[in-house]
Structure 1
Amino acid sequence: MILFTKLLLAHLLGDYIFQPTKWVVHKEANMIASKYLYLHILIHFAVTMLLLWDLKLWWWVVIIAVSHYFIDLSKIFANPYFKNKSIPFFIDQALHLIVLYCCAFNSDLLGNTIGLFKEINWPLVTAVVFVSYPASIIMAKLLEGMSDRIELDHKSLPNAGKYIGIIERLFVLVFIILGRWEAIGLLITAKSVFRFNDLKESNSRKLTEYILIGTLLSFGLAILAGLIYLGT
């Protein structure tokens, strides 16, 4: 596990700390002819060798560097075909992690993978999944009759409310698992403060009631998921 951690740290340093934005822009513009693409791979190789500090592992570092080159190059060529640029980015990062994992556990890849799956906390995974999109859909169905009566006179980011709800429920779930119930109260207070100006400017009782019901319902679903998890 230490080996994988070092490889992951080297990846984070090479991809995020030691890669300026102008390098990324230059790579996307010049593709395979970009000098920064090769400099980026060289930095990855150097940082990985430095962190491992073991010349016996040079072969695996070469494999990581070469695979990093082809994965990055594939991402550069694939970028124009995606409207949502986050999709190729996350695919790129996932492929890098798979390579690092295979290199770190090459001695018993299958055994380590099976062991990893056996250690997964499935009740926790189920709780996390539930408080994300399923809870959002349940809330939308429960509040469907009310949302049609609310008139919004301000613009908002697309799906911002849904993502805010998912993040807050994840926080509530974590706080319950850690036994920090008081933090949930602080979260509700913080959300109320941020919402205060919107409610004050709208001067709408219906909107206030709608937001209050939605907030309590969101927190309630997260608390329910947390209690059920603790009870399993």
Structure 2
Amino acid sequence: MILFVKLLLAHLLGDFIWQPGSWVTDKETKKHKSIYLYIHIILHGILAAILAGEIRFIPYAILIAVTHGIIDLIKLNFQKKKNKRTWFVVDQIAHILVLIGVVLLYENKNIPPFWQENVFWIYLTGILLLTKPTSIFIKTIISIWAPESKLNNQDNSLVAAGNYIGILERLFVFGFILTNHFEAIGFLLAAKSIFRFGDLKEAKDRKLTEYVLIGTLISFGIAILAGLLVQMLLQLS
């Protein structure tokens, strides 16, 4: 575990702390022709080797540097302005997965329980269920109660912000259930209520308040049920 922490620290230093904005701009403009791309790659290898603190880790540090460069090149060649955020997330996830793989390879450890086939598919299905499918389900169910202000979208909220907030809150609840932190669900619900209270009070729309409350309770209810169901399936698998 400590090796992964050290490699993660090396990644954070190389990708964020010690990578100036000018390097990023140059890489996005020149792609594989940018000298800063290769400096960036070498820096990651050096940081990984130094923080690992073992001579025999050097080949693994080189592996980290090479895979980091490949992942960055893929991102630089495929990302566009409209999907830049998506590629940023994919890029970071890929780097973290490489670090996990290197640690497992270096320490000759067996695949952890999460990555066992049955467990993986149960987790993946549960997580995906709580994203867009649940959003569509909730939207469809409560659409008959949608107030006029909601239908006309007469507010100053960010585009699709409510949808993303709902997905995030369900994933948080899902995580709390699986880690047996049920009390955190109450804290999350209270926090959302506090933030929502001012908006609903100013709107002075009872139908809108009821609409939001129904949607929130359905969202939390589905997340709790999904978490409990996944726990049950994990025990049976």
Normalised-by-shorter TM-score class: 0.7 to 0.9
Residue 143 of structure 1 corresponds to 142
Please give the alpha-carbon distance, in whole angstroms, between the structure 1 residues aligned to 2:162 and 2:114.
38
Shift of 1:214: 0.9
Q: Distance in 2 between matches of 1:228 and 1:112?
A: 24
Contact in 1 for aligned 2:177/2:224 (Cα 8 Å): yes
Aligned-residue Cα RMSD (Å) equals 3.3
C-alpha separation in 2, matches of 1:147 and 1:194: 21
CA contact (8 A) 2:114 2:120 kept: no
TM-score by length of 2: 0.78
Q: Give the aligned partner of residue 128 of structure 2.
A: 129
* SS of residue paired to 1:192: helix
Aligned to 1:11: 11
Letter in 2 for 1:173: F
Partner of 1:170: 171
Q: State the shift of 1:45 in Å.
A: 1.8
1:83 aligns with 82
* Residue of structure 2 in register with 1:50 after alignment: 50
Code of the aligned partner of 1:154: D
User: 1:122 and 1:50 mapped to 2: Cα distance?
Assistant: 37
1:61 paired to 2:61: yes
Structure 1 stretches (4+) deviating beyond 6 angstroms? none
Q: What secondary structure is seen at the aligned counterpart in 1 of 2:156?
A: coil
Is residue 147–residue 208 contact of structure 2 (8 Å, CA) maintained in 1?
no
Structure 2, unaligned runs of 5 or more? none
Q: What is the alpha-carbon distance in structure 1 between the residues aligned to residue 111 and residue 179 of structure 2?
A: 28
Q: Is 2:185 the partner of 1:158?
A: no
Please tell me whether the aligned partners of residues 4 and 100 of structure 2 are also in contact (alpha carbons under 8 angstroms): yes
Q: Secondary structure at the match of 1:143?
A: helix
Residues 172-181 or 19-28, more deviating: 172-181
Aligned mates of 2:200, 2:95 — CA distance in 1: 46
> Cα distance 1:132–1:62, how it changes in 2: closer, same or farther (>3 A)?
same
Displacement of 1:202: 1.5
Does the aligned pair in 1 maintain the 2:171–2:223 contact within 8 Å?
Answer: yes
Alpha-carbon separation, structure 1, partners of 2:179 and 2:186: 14
TM-score (norm 1): 0.79
Would you say how many aligned residue pairs link Structure 1 and Structure 2? 231
Partner of 2:211: 210
Separation in 2 of the partners of 1:117 and 1:179?
21
The unaligned stretches of length 5 or more in structure 1 are none
CA distance in 2, matches of 1:43, 1:226: 41
